[in-house]
Every structure is written in structure tokens, then in C-alpha cells.
Amino acid sequence: MALQDQKDAKRNSDQVQTELDKKPEDEALKSRKEAADNAVAATERAVKKIQAQQQTWNDATDETPAGPYSLGRTQMAFWLFLIVAGYLFVALSIGQYQGLITGDVLMLLGISGVTGLAAVQITGDKAAGRASRGFVQDILSTEDGPQMQRLQAVAWTIILGGIFV
């Protein structure tokens, strides 16, 4: 009987040892599984957040534009950009801030501003009902199609801008 008790005790201790040996593996597997589950959950949250941002962006870009691009406004913005960029370039390059904006530069800016405002006043009502067809096509054409005088205005604006630079 003592021999049987020893065998049973040995078997029980082997089972206990086996259980003890398995537990660290089970704990390691469990912790790895939890880490993987957390990573999956974090990824799903990130995907949902990105999808919400994309939906917000899509909602904002689905709005219809106010109308076609304006040649007058484009010229006004072009000259304003050239004058400001030129002033900053010279001012930062040589450190001279006074005397850079001459009367001629102000006159050029004034002409482009008056032209842009006049174009807005003249074509404001006509352009309101028209949808944009793209930047280049909008500035080169009217509701009747492409216009040679608009092409000339764009070409001379670019040429004179290059001379100014």
C-alpha cells in the first residue's frame, strides 16, 4: 500500500508540476493574446477615426463652388503676390526696407486692383449661375467659349510679370 501511495503521490506531483509548467506558458500566451487584442482594437479605433475625418472632408468638398474662377481676380492676386514676394526678397536679402515700394509699383498694384474689382462688378451676376469648368478653362473662356482677348491678357500678364521679376 505504501508503494501505491508513493506512486499516487509521484503521479500527483508530476501532474502538479505539469500544471505549473503550463501556467507560465498559458500566462505568456494570454498576455500575448491580450496585447494582440489591444493592438487590433487600437487599429480599429484609428481606422474609424480616419474614416470619420474622410467623411468630414468629403462633406466639405462636395459643396458646389461659388462660381467660375475670375481672370480679373487672378491677375490681381498674381500682381499682389509678385510685389509682396519681390519686396520680401529684396528686404531680406540686403536688409533695406525703405524705398523699395516706389510709385510705379503702387500704380501697378492699383491698376490690377481696379481691374479686378471692375471685372467682379461687370461679370458678378453673369458668373453666379455658371459652374466652374477648371481654372485654366475658366480664365480663358466666357459662357460663349474660349476668347482670344482673355488668352492675350493671360499671356501679357505672364510676360510683364517675368519682366517685373
pLDDT digits (tens, 9 = 90+) for 56-91: 777 665 555 567 788 888 888 898 898 888 888 888
Residues contacting residue 132 through CB under 8 Å, at least 6 positions apart: 65, 67, 68, 69, 138
Tell me what the pLDDT averaged over the chain comes to: 76
Task: Return d(Cα 121, Cα 109) in angstroms, integer.
Answer: 18
Residue positions counted in the chain: 165
Which grid cell is 91?
528686404
| DSSP bridge pairs for 141 | 146
In this predicted structure, what is the pLDDT of residue 101?
78
Using alpha carbons, select from 76, 115, 78 the residue that is nearest to residue 86: 78
How much is the pTM?
A: 0.51
pLDDT band at 7 (very low <50, low <70, confident <90, very high): low
